[in-house]
Structure 1
Amino acid sequence: MSWYLFDYGMVISEAPTATDWAALEEAIGLPAEPEDSTYWRHRESYDAGELNAEQYWTSVLGRPVSEGQLAQLHALDVRAWSHLNTETLDVLEAIDSTGAGLALLSNMPLELAEELGASGVWPRFFSQLFFSGRLGLIKPDRQIFQYVLNELGVSAEQVTFIDDRQENLDAAAALGFHTVLHTQGTDLAAELKLA
């Protein structure tokens, strides 16, 4: 059986909008979008499950957060990553109709995974959901890819991995995965030979 392994951010979801970033920046009083911002500086530890939501936002702000502020920041973060790529959803539906296996592997904090997974339409396509925050491993660590293979009970050659980051694809390819880089404008159906 062949499997398709999808990333979430920038593949199933689209990028946060300018409005999303503005709302986050207003709430934290600091820039959020730039790669050197505290939002991103502490994100890997949050994704890996080393920080919970309160610890993460405390690190971002540089000071303790109140319960109300934490709820607001979490809600804004969830909203920012909730915009779905409808073309990808169509591809998931097409793959699902073929009988191939569908799984998800995302660098995502546990709190975000629980919220997005409960409210989204996309989880119904997947028989397996793998989140870094739950596993304590993040892409591109080869251990997370090996964990997925063990859970799926297949060899890497049976899996096509779709991700927006080349370093993640390189790590998967080194283990024998087929890989597809998803960037803005990618015709995913054509790349996967579904069209």
Structure 2
Amino acid sequence: MTRTDSPRRWYLFDYGNVISTAPTPQDWDLLAEATGVDRLQDPGSTYWRHRFAYDAGSLTSDGYWSLVCGDRVGPLRAGWLDILDANQWSHLNLETLDVLEDLDARGERLAVLSNMPAAMAAQFAGAPWTKLFRHTFFSSALQLVKPAPSIFERVLAELAADPGLVTFVDDSPANVATAKDLGIHGLLFDPSSDLSRLLAEGRAVSGALQE
């Protein structure tokens, strides 16, 4: 039996590498020049090694960039590095935006859940893309970081949503796996993904489960 009065679904999107594209080599070169540290894009670099703590709000901007640079960084320089960092993550995926605008035009309920430091979230506040979303959840404000189950549980509580009525799109297999463990319909995104098709297939699977 098909339900015709099912509750409304939430669509929950990651930001980096989903709404935005990855930083360009030129972006990383600008940050390397400003920090004096090469290859910050590498997984084992100081940029990534301390990123979870920065995303969680456990480090100030000064503290994070001091760890990245390996030397004391004052507030003014840290502020400039935060601007460069936000800029390199500000290149938007136009295909994703098209899908988001279509969902919004259809009256779907959209939210963002992103690991993002407070300085970057502040720089993006009021950006045109944020107006598509009813809620924006950033790790630094929640003081919780994906893929911890607690951050998803917090978001579900804020949305007053049943996990089975949330579709979550993220580029991290670990984040998607945690969401699925909690009963959320998780979809793994990569730059080659056809987001419209991915969501359509997700709706078909979710609909079958609710019949």
Q: TM-score, normalised by structure 2?
A: 0.89
d(CA) in 2 for partners of 1:114, 1:72: 14
Verify the 8 A CA contact 2:147 2:175 in the aligned structure 1. yes
d(CA) in 2 for partners of 1:189, 1:130: 23
Instruction: Describe the SS at the equivalent of 1:64.
Output: coil
Question: Percent identity at matched positions?
Answer: 47
d(CA) in 1 for partners of 2:19, 2:60: 24
The answer to whether residue 195 in structure 2 is matched with residue 171 in structure 1 is no
The correspondence for 1:7, drawn from 11, 14, 17, is 14
Q: Which residue of 1 aligns with 2:93?
A: 85
Q: How does 1:43-54 map to 2 (within 5 A)?
A: 43-54=51-62
The answer to whether residue 72 in structure 2 is matched with residue 64 in structure 1 is yes
The correspondence for 1:18, drawn from 25, 40, 47, is 25
d(CA) in 1 for partners of 2:59, 2:130: 24
The answer to whether residue 46 in structure 2 is matched with residue 38 in structure 1 is yes
d(CA) in 1 for partners of 2:182, 2:74: 44
Instruction: Describe the SS at the equivalent of 1:192.
Output: helix
Q: Which residue of 2 aligns with 1:183?
A: 190
d(CA) in 2 for partners of 1:10, 1:123: 16
Shift of 1:95: 0.8
Q: Which residue of 1 aligns with 2:3?
A: none
Shift of 1:158: 0.4
d(CA) in 1 for partners of 2:70, 2:161: 44
The alignment's C-alpha RMSD in Å is 1.1
Instruction: Describe the SS at the equivalent of 2:200.
Output: coil
Shift of 1:64: 1.2
Alignment: residue pair count: 193
d(CA) in 2 for partners of 1:128, 1:96: 13
Larger Rg: 2
Uncovered stretches (5+) of structure 2, i.e. residues with no partner: 1-7, 202-211
| Post-superposition CA distance 1:103-158 (Å, at most 9, x none) | 0000001111111123x221000001100000010001101101111111110000
| Post-superposition CA distance 1:154-182 (Å, at most 9, x none) | 10000000000000000000011111111
Q: Which residue of 1 aligns with 2:208?
A: none
Q: Which residue of 2 aligns with 1:192?
A: 199
d(CA) in 1 for partners of 2:134, 2:143: 21
Query: Which structure 1 residue ranges, 4+ long, deviate > 3 Å from structure 2?
Result: none
The correspondence for 2:111, drawn from 84, 103, 109, is 103
Shift of 1:70: 1.7
Structure 1 stretch 90-99 or stretch 154-163: which is displaced more? Answer: 90-99
Q: Which residue of 1 aligns with 2:4?
A: none
d(CA) in 1 for partners of 2:170, 2:133: 16
Verify the 8 A CA contact 2:61 2:75 in the aligned structure 1. no
The correspondence for 2:162, drawn from 148, 155, 169, is 155
Structure 1 stretch 160-169 or stretch 54-63: which is displaced more? Answer: 54-63
Instruction: Describe the SS at the equivalent of 2:110.
Output: strand
